[in-house]
Chains A and B, each alone.
Chain A
């Protein structure tokens, strides 16, 4: 690797900086010269590291699952916190029900509020179950995602979810958000 000798950087941070600033662009009169120490990696080596699922489904792994299979996982891995009918308990949010058009304050859940079904897979895979995050296989994440969507009436019990069918689900509140990012 074209790195500088591994001297504890804590000790020599400033020195390294002084001697290496030309590594990136020799002679460039740029005040932002950096030592260019990043190691090149290929996207294929990042397959397990990169957890991001785009809203169009890019990044969804191989595998598939149905709500029928997901129910078993829900009962053993999720129910203790989220409740028997996914009604929620304290900070373990309700995972089903609610309506944005309800008379009182709306109960906002995956079914009533979330704009994209891909986010359900993405979030469960990265963060749930909260007591053992990342302990489910991709196959199991597809299954329990299907079960959560089934509880919200968005898929049938035996509908197969995979990298093609999951992003195709149209969530009820898909059009309910106003993007503020351009008016900052």
Chain B
């Protein structure tokens, strides 16, 4: 029996049981990998390389990445004179691993660019239906008890292009790069509200940023008291300017726009403020021309990041299909992968640590022998939400609006090894 035959098939068209990633079948995988490079060892030089023959530079004040990885970057549009500072940049999902996005590569969305805030001149004001309106300086807030939480953040416009009539020739980054994962550290907003004293009857909190757009969003008080943070740190360091320095709202699981950056004002009231970015934008028009407003949690979703759009498989043999899954409603419990366009499915291996409203990494081995394939992934969360396919979403809500799209991504692999975005 060859090693390939010894691998336990999990579903059609080459998917191998995930237990082969757990150490049980690794021998087989190792043989396969070694087999690929047998021809290469003739060409390889085994002299000690130059960098082993001299000392390198010493420790430095601020770390830099290897020049060999500086092709990894966000995908940002060109500056737009009609929209000064406005627009988005997307995370290079296909070039990253794990579930934490480096701060320099976290996606961005700005409505009037990144303000140059001097924290000494920044205030967070809480007013409206409170016993005592209060103002906090950045220094004040640094002294408060903080908590750290690992969560995804996703722009509700992410992946919306997949509702278009024909599939774009895109990458995991260009189609899905408006999602990132990080550890956010900050103050429970409930603690600050307790200090101001919430008055009976208050039910909404309007949050406003200190950017040129003074971007505002209204959030129900129940959510604010549940798990919303005033975040001051991202992945251990003070927020980057493009992520809201010195402080941002962080609203776990909800559409990214509600996590107002450069947070400067919170006002309690009995109704939403009906800001432009919760009426004109971030609302979804249905086929009957009514429009859904305040659709807050992001859906149960996954995307295969490798192999993915515009990649090319250059050898036959075993590949690791991997990607990320997340749900604004809870914790990812299961991700299924198909290599035959959804005819058969196999469970992917989930990273051992899954947390609520956070990215979860999945992996499954796949044997590609040059055949046509369509790779799909489908996420399931602990509330029983199952990621729908594109046709189900189209049937339910049409495509007059493209926010909050969480349908499945299908990547076609051709016999030439080229991977592209398709609809099934």
Interface residues of A, Cβ cutoff 8 Å to B: 3-4, 6, 8-10, 13, 16-17, 20-21, 24, 32-43, 46, 49-56, 81, 89-93, 100-101, 105-106, 108, 110, 113-116, 118-119, 122-123, 126-127, 130-131, 133-134, 173, 176-181, 184
Q: Is the CB of A38 within 8 A of B145?
A: no
Q: Is the CB of A176 within 8 A of B290?
A: yes
CB-CB contacts below 8 Å: B142-192 with A: 142-145, 187-188, 190-192
Which chain B positions have C-beta within 8 A of A37?
136, 140-141, 143-144
Which chain B positions have C-beta within 8 A of A92?
82-83
**Partner among A56, A119, A179 whose Cβ is within 8 Å of the Cβ of B294:** A179
Which chain A positions have C-beta within 8 A of B140?
3, 9, 35, 37-39
CA distance A16 to B143 in the complex (A): 6
CA distance A178 to B267 in the complex (A): 24
Contacts A41-B133, A49-B125; is A133 near B213 (CB within 8 Å)?
yes
CB distance from A102 to the nearest CB of B (A): 9
Majority secondary structure of chain A interface residues (helix, strand, loop or mixed): loop
Q: Is the CB of B214 within 8 A of A51?
A: yes
Q: Is B351 an interface residue (CB 8 A)?
A: no
CB-CB contacts below 8 Å: B240-299 with A: 265, 267, 269, 271-276, 279-280, 283, 285, 289-297
Which chain A positions have C-beta within 8 A of B215?
127
Q: Is the CB of A180 within 8 A of B291?
A: no
Q: Is B196 an interface residue (CB 8 A)?
A: yes
**Partner among A113, A127, A177 whose Cβ is within 8 Å of the Cβ of B111:** A127
**Partner among B187, B195, B208, B220 whose Cβ is within 8 Å of the Cβ of A36:** B195
Q: Is B212 an interface residue (CB 8 A)?
A: yes
CA distance A6 to B104 in the complex (A): 32
Q: Is the CB of B296 within 8 A of A184?
A: yes
CA distance A131 to B111 in the complex (A): 12
**Partner among B87, B216, B276, B291 whose Cβ is within 8 Å of the Cβ of A177:** B291
Residue of B nearest to A91 (CB): B83
**Partner among B136, B138, B271, B279 whose Cβ is within 8 Å of the Cβ of A119:** B279
Q: Is B206 an interface residue (CB 8 A)?
A: yes
**Partner among A32, A50, A100 whose Cβ is within 8 Å of the Cβ of B265:** A50
**Partner among B80, B125, B271 whose Cβ is within 8 Å of the Cβ of A90:** B80
CB distance from A173 to the nearest CB of B (A): 8
**Partner among A4, A32, A46, A56 whose Cβ is within 8 Å of the Cβ of B127:** A46
Which chain A positions have C-beta within 8 A of B279?
113-116, 119, 177
CA distance A37 to B139 in the complex (A): 9
Q: Is the CB of B134 within 8 A of A181?
A: no
CA distance A101 to B275 in the complex (A): 24
**Partner among B223, B285, B293 whose Cβ is within 8 Å of the Cβ of A106:** B285
Q: Is the CB of B289 within 8 A of A100?
A: yes
CA distance A42 to B213 in the complex (A): 25
Q: Is B84 an interface residue (CB 8 A)?
A: yes
Q: Is the CB of A9 within 8 A of B265?
A: no
Q: Is the CB of B274 within 8 A of A55?
A: yes
Q: Is B400 an interface residue (CB 8 A)?
A: yes
18 contacts across the A-B interface (CB closer than 8 A): A16-B142, A34-B145, A34-B187, A34-B191, A38-B134, A41-B133, A51-B214, A52-B216, A90-B83, A92-B82, A106-B400, A113-B279, A122-B273, A123-B280, A127-B111, A133-B214, A179-B293, A181-B296
CB distance from B24 to the nearest CB of A (A): 41
CB distance from B278 to the nearest CB of A (A): 9
Q: In which size bucket is the chain B interface?
A: 35 or more
Q: Is the CB of A33 within 8 A of B145?
A: yes
Contacts A92-B82, A179-B294, A180-B294; is A41 near B127 (CB within 8 Å)?
yes
Residue of B nearest to A93 (CB): B280
Which chain A positions have C-beta within 8 A of B187?
34
Which chain B positions have C-beta within 8 A of A46?
125, 127, 133
CB distance from A177 to the nearest CB of B (A): 4
Closest 7 CB pairs of A and B: A38-B134, A181-B294, A123-B276, A37-B140, A126-B214, A9-B139, A9-B142
Which chain A positions have C-beta within 8 A of B273?
52-55, 122
Q: Is the CB of A130 within 8 A of B144?
A: no
Which chain B positions have C-beta within 8 A of A179?
293-294
Q: Is the CB of B289 within 8 A of A130?
A: no
CA distance A89 to B276 in the complex (A): 19
Residue of A nearest to B278 (CB): A119
CB distance from A134 to the nearest CB of B (A): 8
Q: Is the CB of B136 within 8 A of A39?
A: yes
Q: Is the CB of B143 within 8 A of A17?
A: yes
Which chain A positions have C-beta within 8 A of B192?
34, 38
Contacts A38-B135, A38-B196, A131-B84; is A176 near B291 (CB within 8 Å)?
yes
CA distance A105 to B141 in the complex (A): 47
Which chain A positions have C-beta within 8 A of B292?
177-178, 180
Q: Is the CB of B214 within 8 A of A40?
A: no
Q: Is the CB of A177 within 8 A of B289?
A: no
Residue of B nearest to A128 (CB): B213
Which chain A positions have C-beta within 8 A of B295?
180
CA distance A67 to B206 in the complex (A): 30
**Partner among A53, A81, A133 whose Cβ is within 8 Å of the Cβ of B82:** A81
Q: Is B86 an interface residue (CB 8 A)?
A: yes
Q: Is B29 an interface residue (CB 8 A)?
A: no
Q: Is the CB of B112 within 8 A of A127?
A: yes
Q: Is the CB of B289 within 8 A of A43?
A: no
Q: Is B132 an interface residue (CB 8 A)?
A: yes
Residue of A nearest to B196 (CB): A38
CB distance from A79 to the nearest CB of B (A): 12
Residue of B nearest to A116 (CB): B274
**Partner among B82, B195, B212, B297 whose Cβ is within 8 Å of the Cβ of A24:** B195
